[in-house]
Amino acid sequence: MTSPDKRRPRTTSTLGDTRARRQRAEALALGKAATSLERIDALSLDTTRAMLHELHVHQIELEMQNEELRQAQMELDTERARYFDLYDLAPVGYCTVDADGLIQQANLTAAALLGQPRRALVKQRISRFIFKQDQDVYYLLRQQLIKSGEPQSRELRMLKGDGTTFWAHLAASMALDAGGVASCRIVVNDISE
């Protein structure tokens, strides 16, 4: 169990929630106390000791579960940080595009390449960022990807938010999300040089 001085400082709302939860628990306990006291008086000393032992064991189990939850939370935080490093800070742009061609997710590099804030990319058509004369190249890539299911790649010109163009290498593959919905994962690499 964590010592009080090592705990995170509680906010006012957290303290209020804790107090409210405690008051509800006390009210429930008082409501049940009348019948419980009558039952307790009828219990033998051995039965009372056994119940106290069970309560103590249950408390230890809860403390162990709480520690396991804290450990799982720490591992989850570590995985989130690893995901952030691998996805958001990657040297190439990553986009997830749905069946309608709308960007569902984009990493920071994709946002920088396309000259848009990441949140502005979400729900935008990826084709909006493909140079007009290269729309057919992207369309064929997408059709072959859907038809074959095999990863596809092409070089084409893309547009930044300010209208300037750059040459990009697109590598696309199909993926299924947790719900079984197909999406297209696109890697965008600036090859202008």
pLDDT in tens, 40-50: 666 778 887 88
The H or E element containing residue 48 is helix 45-83
Report the pLDDT value the prediction gives residue 188, as an integer from 0 to 100. 95
CA–CA–CA angle 156, 101, 128 (5° rounding): 50
From CA 95, how far away is CA 126, in angstroms rounded? 9
The residue to which tokens 């072959």 are assigned: 144
Segment 73-92 mean pLDDT: 86
Is residue 60 within 8 Å of 68, Cβ to Cβ? no
The Cα-based distances of 193 to 77, 93, 158 in angstroms read: 38, 16, 14
Instruction: Examine the pLDDT at 58 and tell me if it is beyond 80.
Output: yes
What share of the chain in percent tops pLDDT 90? 51
Which DSSP symbol is given to 124? Answer: S
Q: Read off the pLDDT of residues 83-135 as tens digits, 9 standing for 90 and up.
A: 877 788 889 999 999 989 999 999 999 999 999 999 999 999 999 999 999 99
pLDDT confidence band for 5 (50 / 70 / 90)? very low
Secondary structure (3-state) at 66: helix
The pLDDT value recorded for residue 51 is 84
Backbone angles phi, psi at 168, to 5 degrees: -135, 150
Give the span between the Cα atoms of 161 and 148, in whole angstroms.
Answer: 32
Q: If residue 177 lies in a helix (H) or strand (E), which one and from where to where?
A: none
User: What's the pLDDT tens digit per position in 130-171?
Assistant: 999 999 999 999 999 989 989 999 999 999 989 999 999 999
Contacts of 117 (CB under 8 A, 6+ apart): 111
Per-chain mean pLDDT for the chain: 85
With beta carbons less than 8 A apart as the criterion, state whether 88 and 108 touch.
yes
Tokens for 26, please give them: 């006390």
| pLDDT reported for residue 184 | 92
Task: Give 1's pLDDT tier (boundaries 50, 70, 90).
Answer: very low
pLDDT band for 32, please (50, 70, 90 cuts).
low
Mean pLDDT to the nearest integer, 75-85:
85
Answer yes or no: is pLDDT of 179 > 50: yes
pLDDT-derived band at 2 (thresholds 50, 70, 90) equals: very low
